[in-house]
Amino acid sequence: MCGIVGYIGHRNVVDILVKGLQSLEYRGYDSAGIAVVDYPEDKNSIKAPAVHIVKGVGKVADLKSMLDSSPVSGRQGIGHTRWATHGGVTEVNAHPHSDLSSKLVLVHNGIVENYRELRAELAAPAESYKSETDTEVIAQLLSTLYTKYGGEERPAMIEALVALHKRLRGSFALVIMAKDIPGKIYCLRKGSPLVVGFSGEGEALCASDVPAILPYTQDVVYLDDGDIAELSAEGMRFWNASGEEFEKNHVHIDWDVSMVDKGGYPHFMLKEINEQGAVLRSSMAKRLAEEGTVDLSAELPWTKEEACAWKRIHIVACGTSYYASLVAERFLETITDLDIRVDVASEYRYRNFPVGPDTLAVFVSQSGETADTLAAERLAKARGARCLAVTNVIGSTLAREVDDILQLKAGPEIGVAATKTFMGQMAVLYLLSLYIAKLRETLTGDYERTIGREMLALPYKVESILQQQEKIQKLAVLHSEARDFLFLGRGNSFPVALEGALKLKEISYIHAEAYAAGEMKHGPIALLDPRVPVVVVSPKDDLHEKTFSNILEAKARKAPVIAIASEGDASLDSTADNIFHVPVTLPLLSPFLTVTPLQLFAYYVAKILGCDIDQPRNLAKSVTVE
Ligand code: M6R
């Protein structure tokens, strides 16, 4: 949940580290720091290298101010932006950390579970540690191991890292510099993501995620569990967990640097909401033909026989990805005959469902690094299920572990609140559902084309909603003082209500609860009074009249009602206090249109309240710990 970056090359490292950390700040933003090693130009110099550590509480911008007032320089360095786990948000707990004799310095993402046991075992007295972190114990253990190894067979640091990997329990991505190994940076990964790249101009980089590396190279190497990398101005070398040197494949990333800046928008979230028409187009391209037929055979090598042998589909995810899965569940159950189960990964991994070779298990994750989703995937795989990842990040751990992948093709999402990837997930899951139904012959060609053609019209319809942002802005002004919201929806509008409430609470910190509209009278109705606005997702569909009854129930308690309705539907005009109309589409596809006003509503409320929209408190984009 932290962001780490390292650079070695011919330029002053400070700017590179700061920019890299800024691009990774979505991973954690309570404190930040860098370590820069300034080696003497003359390799024969006996002058000891100077290691400058600058760190503090706050954002990367605060770190930058510290560096502006007390500059440091060097051509090699590592940096970290933290999301606190072990120890409070303090300067001493901020990374980088050194061993007790300051022989080496390192940054860490993840959690080492046995750090207390290791600390007790290391000779150093407990009071000699400066911080409360597990990371400082790792630094001390590595230093002890490094001193022990002579490096006859392999460089001593590689021996030490192989041994360290065996001793640490938990998840970690580590980036290390040793004072007596000038010109080299070492990386070790288990569980937490780490990607490395070489620019071809004598510059090597490593980071938790590609945005930090993209300005220098689009060809990267993803480290696997147990991998060790050595970076230098000459290139990159790799060893596996047994200490054997090996070659690793490069992956070309088709994202470019312009995708990781705000492009003139005040926030990444607003930019990403506005990209949703384009996201729909790119996630459907080459998968959905003009006449509305779907073909995923280029990505999913499934035969009819295999698809017909599945008895069940499990869809597993967290947060927004889970809500996209709930939307897809309702579509899948309409067009296939499969037994469908959708669950949050943190529950799925500890339950006891029948899962085996007759199961297609679909794991939906924007980042592909969510710890619970990965654990659920490993469980399903161990039981013989066919595992498919629906992810935005092609080199992610999830993508590399599964049998099949469908990429969202949404481009990088930097705002911590997921928006455009929700849209991309729904699109890809709908295409997947159509494809499965086609293989299993539970769908007629006519029906497939009707849905497919209407899906192709969705980007234009989403864009027409985006052109009416002022209306949503006005709604946000009207309701920004409310402290509690209720979101309601039925059928496929229920997961949209869940997503709308999640967006509002994540970025505005307003309490928002979502309920299946029919459940309101089983409890939440007690909350209603004139201070609790009720947002009702009510497009024209078979359940519309039933939802209308719930609107009347809310009005009877004098709660203000904001309705998301279909264009041309006048039935709510005299009942709802405010109505936002979305274009008409097939009822099965309405979530693609009804979610956008809710994303914008959350954005504008948070903006009015002056919240930190792209980096909301306590959250991190990628939750790599359980
Ligand atoms: O990367 P993932 O899709 O696996 O992440 C899952 C959730 O952590 C994520 O959707 C989270 O709920 C977001 N903050 C939603 O805005």
Note the pLDDT tens digit of each residue in 207-221.
Answer: 999 999 999 999 999
pLDDT tens digit sequence for 345-387:
999 999 988 999 999 999 999 999 999 999 999 999 999 999 9
Same domain, 543 and 424: no
Q: Are residues 482 and 436 in the same domain?
A: no
In the set 2, 206, 387, 611, the catalytic residue is 2
β-pairing verdict for 484-489 and 511-516:
parallel
Q: Distance (Å, rounded) from C-alpha 117 to C-alpha 521?
A: 52
416 CB near ligand 1 (under 6 Å) = yes
pLDDT at 127: 74
> What's the average model confidence in pLDDT over 28-36?
91
pLDDT at 411: 93
Instruction: Identify whether 621 is part of a domain.
Output: no
Do 172 and 158 share a domain, yes or no? yes
Residue 31, pLDDT above cutoff 70? yes
Ligand 1 contact, 366 CB (< 6 A) = yes
The domain boundary, picked from 206, 226, 260, lies at 260
User: Cα(first)–Cα(last) distance of the chain, in Å?
Assistant: 11
Provide the b/e sequence for 421-436 (b: ≥16 CB within 10 Å): bbbbbbbbbbbbbbbb
* Cα four-point dihedral sign 162, 168, 169, 173: negative
User: Which tens digit of pLDDT belongs to each residue from 272-325?
Assistant: 999 999 999 999 999 999 999 999 999 999 999 999 999 999 999 999 999 999
Q: Are strands 76-82 and 170-178 parallel, antiparallel or unpaired?
A: unpaired
463, 479, 511 — which closes off a domain? Answer: 463
Report residue 524 as tokens: 């939440």
In total, how many domains does the chain have? 3
Q: Is 375 in the pocket of ligand 1 (CB under 6 A)?
A: no
Q: Which of 345, 335, 341, 342 is nearest to 369 (CA)?
A: 345
Domain end residue (candidates: 206, 237, 260): 260
At 297 the three-state DSSP class reads coil
Is 111 contained in some domain?
yes
583 and 482 together in one domain: yes
Q: Is the pTM of this model over 0.75?
A: yes
- Go through 280-306 and write b for each residue having 16 or more CB atoms within 10 A of its CB, e for each that does not: bbbbbeebbeeebebebeebbebeeee
Do 47 and 99 lie in one domain? The reply is yes
Asked if the structure places residue 503 within a domain, the reply is yes
Query: Both 225 and 161 in a single domain?
Result: yes
pLDDT (tens digit, 9 = 90+) per residue, 222-275?
999 999 999 999 999 999 999 999 999 999 988 877 777 888 999 999 999 999
Contact (Cβ atoms closer than 8 angstroms) between residue 416 and residue 366: no
* Angstrom distance (rounded) from CA 17 to CA 71: 13
Given this model, what pLDDT does residue 343 score? 97
Does one domain contain both 514 and 399?
A: no
Nearest CA to ligand 1 atom 16: 417
* One domain, residues 273 and 418: yes
Q: How confident is the model at residue 42 (pLDDT cuts 50, 70, 90)?
A: low
Give the CATH number of the domain where residue 169 resides. Answer: 3.60.20.10
> Has 611 been annotated as catalytic?
no
Assign 19 to helix, strand or coil: helix
* Statement to judge: residues 533 and 593 lie in one domain: yes
Predicted pLDDT at 436 = 98
Please write the tens of the pLDDT for every residue from 516-575.
Answer: 999 998 998 999 999 999 999 999 999 998 999 999 999 999 999 999 999 999 999 999
Residues 76 and 225 in one domain: yes
Q: Is residue 441, in this structure, part of any structural domain at all?
A: yes
* Residue 533 counted as domain residue: yes
Q: In ligand 1, which atom is closest to the CA atom of 623?
A: 8
Q: What is the pLDDT of residue 149?
A: 80
Residue 60 confidence class, pLDDT cut points 50, 70, 90: very high
Please tell me the predicted confidence (pLDDT) of residue 481.
Answer: 95
If residue 207 lies in a helix (H) or strand (E), which one and from where to where? strand 204-207
Ligand 1 probe mutation, 321, 413, 598, most atoms within 8 A of CB? 321
Residue 163 corresponds to which tokens in the numbers above?
């041994």
Q: Ligand 1 centre from 586 Cα, in Å?
A: 28
Residue-wise pLDDT for 67-83, tens only, equals: 999 999 999 999 999 98
Looking at the domain assignment, is residue 625 inside a domain?
no
Nearest C-alpha to atom 9 of ligand 1 is from which residue?
A: 319
- Verify that 209 and 286 share a domain, yes or no: no
Q: How much is the pLDDT for 153?
A: 66
Q: Is the confidence at residue 45, as pLDDT, over 80?
A: no
Phi/psi of residue 175, each to 5°? Answer: -130, 130
Q: Are residues 414 and 479 in the same domain?
A: no
CATH code where residue 482 lies: 3.40.50.10490
In a domain, 164, yes or no: yes
Rounded CA-CA distance 600/607 in Å is 10
Residue 623 lies in a domain: no
* Cα gap 330→376, rounded to integer Å: 22
Structural domain boundaries, residue 394 = 268-463
621 is catalytic: yes
